[in-house]
A and B are shown apart, each in its own frame.
Chain A
Amino acid sequence: MRAFDYFESKTVAEATKYLLDYGETARVLAGGVDLIPRMRKEDFKTDCVVNIQRIPNLDRIELDSGKELRFGAMATLRSLETSEWVRKGYPAFYEAIRQIASVQTKYMGTAVGNLCVGTPASDVATVLYALGASLSISGPEGDRTEAIQDFCTDYRCTSLRRGEMVTGVSVPPMKAGEGSAFVNLVRTHADIAKLTVAVSITTEKDVCREARIAIGAAAPTVFRASKAEDALRGRPLKAQTIDEAAQIASGETRPISDLRSTAEYRKEMTRVLVRKALEKASVAAKG
């Protein structure tokens, strides 16, 4: 690994100052699971590493007074997996983390770090899209909040401006009549998803009131299949409506072929996975 300037920040303000100074060649070290191997392979130029692991309270997971789940930038995947609030309150989020095969990755890696990598194949990002999460961002011009779907702007690109870092994520509570589901496809269990889908639907008397369908690894970023969502909203949740929505969702994908899968397969499997996820979520919504 090439030489770099190394700083351990004690506060977010300190961290953002280094990020501002160094700009594009500054890297935030949270878990390091994605960062360190890439630095070894010199995937990008790194002049500065800002270690945020020791900023107090950045690993917190809490439910605020509005029952919104909030977790900080240093909350590890493992700590989220073992949080009762996540397990009981956000079963799809729990499932997305649980199925990550590498235990080491979960102990080291953070959910926020995972989001900031900005890969569309992220299970965590996909499920947080479906749950309507938003990110708290701090920077030289102050703090701001951003909906997750605005945060990921392109393949491995985020909306972070120079000097900014994500400090946490908040996830609105699941409502009565809301059900969620997560499902993906992988080559081996210990693999990045070739396609990942998460949905959340709210039903009232078997009619879909609200729908969020998030699809990962089928476009340059995770995205919400908004046309499919529109096709569900206000309609009864029958097999036919679900099938139609799944078909529309498949049409909204812009997948590529890579080592993990083909564009054609991803497109077709979107239909299958969205259908399965919607079926699961409608059962969950009733229960």
Chain B
Amino acid sequence: MSQELSVVGKRLPKWDASVKATGAAKYTSDLKLPGMLVGKILTSPHPHARIVRIDASEAEKLPGVKAVITFGDVPKTIFNPNKLGLILRHPEGEVKDMYVLSDKARFVGDRIAAVAAIDEATAEEALKLIEVEYEVMPAVFDAMKAMKPGAPKVHDFAENNIALHKQFPVSWGDVEKGFKEADCVVEENFRTARNHISQLEPCACVASLGPEGRLTIWSPSQHIFLHRRKIAEIFGMQEGMIKWVTPHIGGAFGKYGSLSLEPVTVALALKTGKPVKIAYSREQDLVGTELRQRYISSVKVGAKKDGTLTAVRENLIVDGGAYFSHNSSTTDVNMGSFVGLYRCPNVDAHADCVYTNLPVTGGVRGYGDSEATCVLEQTIDKAAKEMGMDPLEMRLKNVKKPGEPSQTGLPLETCSLEAIIKLGAERIGWKEKKQRPRQEGTKKRGIGMGIMMDVSGAQPFNLQIRNAFIKFNEDGSINLSTCIADMGQNLLGTMAQMAAEVLGLNYEDVHMVSGDTDSTMFDTGQHASGGCYQLGHAVIQAAEEARGQLFERAARKLGVGAAELSVKNRTVYVTSDPEKSIPIADVAKGATYNFEGEHLDISGKGSFSPTHNPPPFAAAFADVEVDVETGEVKIKKIVYVFDCGKAINPTTVEGQLQGGVVQAIGYALTEDYVVDTESGTLQSDNFNTYKLPSALDMPEIEVVIYEEAAPSGPFGARGVGHGTMIAVTPAILNAIYDATGIIVTEAPATPERILAALKKVV
């Protein structure tokens, strides 16, 4: 490939931006099919209750109601809604504990029954007519209490509500020895935030059984092939009889790694034989779709007085809510991130995954890495302070170098942490700000940092299979078929840029075919930021194969050998004699409408399973001001340096980073997911109570794209989107620590909590 890139690296508009700017883009909640019914779900008002009796007869009689289903009507297949059990190399931790509708109410919001009716008003009315007799049982809302003998049992099989005990499989060294050797040992206990990713489109699903007996599902799933298999297994269907389509997605951030509304919607569609749509309200989305686990994280760090780490340990109690979903994998990632971020000779991590009568948790942006990195980074700062050491210097002492293992255990091909830490420090003015006066009037000033190492996919833990198919149209444009639905991260545009680069086409010459199990090849789906890195390779392979065919045909026309050819600007040309050329369109048309009996649809297939997993690296810096009178935290500036290997589209990468900053600000300061601990009811159930940052809450944000090519990356690229919060949250919390001496052990750091803590700090 030519050194000089024409499409890759360019700031190009997002592939679907125009349909979104005009309102033409249809999201799942916008879809209408002829004869479509409205589905609604009856949820439990109790946090823990046995279902004694359900009488749906009155609801069924209501005119306009086409189906009412309860536990008795749905398949008795027990499942885990997340897709990992199908692709994990070691799926032992994947606990299955869920049914399409619940056999017992385990949280306020648990799914008890569902109706399909001709319109929303009728469906609502029908829900009210379903009589449910509950035997209310004691409930438990705290993981520590849940583990005590005699605590209410959320699931019969889980003694002391422990779903799984996990020892991180790759601990090494001897932590007790490591702590003994340390000059400084610090400990801290954290309760990470229950945080809801709150994508702007409330969850929705449409399912329709076609006349030929094939089921079509429309939903924002990130893994349509894997989820299709899960639905097939649940309902006793064959995969080939299910077509799954992803419409435009109004945000996902990893959440749709789990099945959400699909099982219930499918059950209603199968029962009625009609299309059914279930669209959540915001309230239903906040309680009924997965949020982050709360990690009760006990951290211990030992270091020599020069800052070198001697031991790190993390004990976790994972408050995972009423069903297991991602609890095993997020915990694995948490522990792996914790022990793997820095060089350390002695590490240990273990966890208990615990059930509570709280809404279901899952895996979203950061997937355990966010939480682990945050608590570790905060404890590193504590250790640094105790030793009178600059926390930046302490980090530089311990960051990894190329060749050392990454958090996944695979060797680091590169590691830019040292470079990006120094770059970011310079941009924020670390040295100067560390020396400025700490307090001006009632305002304390502080500066903090956080670093991270994340992933470009889930290698080596999961099967990761990415396929791409390219075919030429007669006009020289291509159809690029990949199974990815774009959640907003412009993965498809990024793929188009790569394909166009390899094929010498313009960006607009690439037509997308995506998000449809009928018209795309198998793909394990989009998670862990594997898209750019993994799918990029598949796309490049497909493009190279198609290019090979293009050259073979063009070579005939130009009377040269195929190896002598190059592509650029929609033209195939002889590398040593560029005047000798032929438009790609002519080659394509000539191959298709070929009267010599050798027609060819110029195309290419690419298939990729990764062997590497080059992390993206980031260093974030926050400059904050804390008002000691009110406890208010004002972020003045964030500098965020992110090594993405190669920014295939710099605008896209910047946008992801800026978005990650806002989510980190919400996590750190404003988003408080509050469940009433007497009734188990979600109190923060809409945006007037669960507060997302608005445009007015944004500080000055400087994002810096750093590009140290990943040798194994397509054009050198690494993953981006998954990791964009991870370094920023600890930067903010560490800045608060620097300003006030307060370690925020339970985010969000609201003014009330800061003020109360300020009173305790000497």
Contacts and interface: CB of A to CB of B under 8 A. Distances in A.
A269 interface: yes
B752 A190 contact: no
B672 interface: yes
Nearest to A42: B124
Nearest to A275: B629
> Which among B629, B632, B683, B692 has the highest number of chain A CB atoms within 10 Å?
B629
Contact of B694 (A189, A262, A264, A272): A189
Interface residues of A, number: 16
B751 interface: yes
Nearest to A189: B696
A239 interface: no
A262 B752 contact: yes
A261 interface: yes
A261 B752 contact: yes
A188 B752 contact: no
B696 A101 contact: yes
Given A190-B694, A269-B630, A272-B630, A185 B684 contact: no
A188 B693 contact: yes
Interface in B618-651: 629-632
B670 A265 contact: no
A265 B751 contact: yes
B410 interface: no
B748 to A, nearest CB: 9
Contacts of A262: 752
Contacts of B672: 259
Interface in A251-287: 259, 261-262, 264-265, 268-269, 272
A1 to B, nearest CB: 9
Given A101-B696, A192-B688, A259-B683, A185 B751 contact: yes
Contact of B630 (A101, A185, A190): A185
Interface size class of B (residues with CB under 8 A): 20 to 34
Contacts of B679: none
A97 B369 CA distance: 42
Interface string B668-683: 0010101000000001
Interface string B683-713: 1100011011110110000000000000000
A88 interface: no
Given A101-B696, A272-B630, A187 B670 contact: yes
A150 interface: no
A259 B697 contact: no
B755 interface: yes
Interface string A170-184: 000000000000000
Contacts of A230: none
B750 interface: yes
Contacts of B689: 259
B755 A268 contact: yes
Contacts of A268: 755
A154 interface: no
A8 interface: no
B521 to A, nearest CB: 44
A34 B750 CA distance: 27
Given A259-B672, A259-B689, A272-B630, A189 B755 contact: no
User: Is chain A's binding surface mostly helix, strand, loop or mixed?
Assistant: loop
User: Is chain B's binding surface mostly helix, strand, loop or mixed?
Assistant: loop
Contacts of B683: 259
Contacts of A259: 672, 674, 683-684, 689
Given A188-B692, A188-B694, A189-B694, A265 B755 contact: yes
B287 to A, nearest CB: 14
Contacts of B691: 187-188, 191
> Which among B631, B692, B752, B755 has the highest number of chain A CB atoms within 10 Å?
B752
A188 B693 CA distance: 6
Nearest to A266: B752
B684 A188 contact: no
A194 to B, nearest CB: 9
A188 B670 contact: yes
A191 B689 CA distance: 9
> Which among B631, B674, B692, B697 has the highest number of chain A CB atoms within 10 Å?
B697
A285 B103 CA distance: 68
A185 B751 CA distance: 10
B133 to A, nearest CB: 24
Contacts of B696: 101, 188-190
Contacts of A261: 752
Contacts of A264: 752
A209 B282 CA distance: 51
A145 B344 CA distance: 75
Interface in A181-206: 185, 187-192
Contacts of B750: 187
Nearest to A276: B629
A185 B631 CA distance: 11
Interface string A228-267: 0000000000000000000000000000000101101100
Given A185-B751, A187-B670, A187-B691, A272 B684 contact: no
Contact of A265 (B674, B694, B697, B752): B752
Interface string B725-752: 0000000000000000000000000111
B195 to A, nearest CB: 15
Contacts of A265: 631, 751-752, 755
Interface in A133-186: 185
Contacts of A185: 630, 632, 751
A187 B630 CA distance: 12
Nearest to A262: B752
A261 B752 CA distance: 7
A190 B686 CA distance: 13
B632 A189 contact: no
A187 B694 CA distance: 11
Nearest to B684: A259
B126 to A, nearest CB: 15
Contacts of A187: 670, 691, 750
A269 B630 CA distance: 7
A183 to B, nearest CB: 10
Given A187-B750, A262-B752, A265-B751, A101 B684 contact: no
A146 B691 CA distance: 36
A261 B670 CA distance: 12
Nearest to A260: B689
A32 to B, nearest CB: 16
A10 B120 CA distance: 33
25 contacts: A101-B696, A185-B630, A185-B751, A187-B670, A188-B670, A188-B691, A188-B692, A188-B696, A188-B697, A189-B694, A189-B696, A189-B697, A190-B694, A190-B696, A259-B674, A259-B689, A261-B752, A264-B752, A265-B631, A265-B751, A265-B752, A265-B755, A268-B755, A269-B630, A272-B630
Given A189-B696, A259-B674, 10 more contacts: A101-B694, A187-B670, A188-B670, A188-B696, A189-B697, A190-B694, A259-B683, A261-B752, A269-B630, A272-B630
Interface of A: 101, 185, 187-192, 259, 261-262, 264-265, 268-269, 272
List 4 A-B pairs, minimum CB-CB distance, nearest first: A189-B696, A190-B694, A265-B752, A188-B691
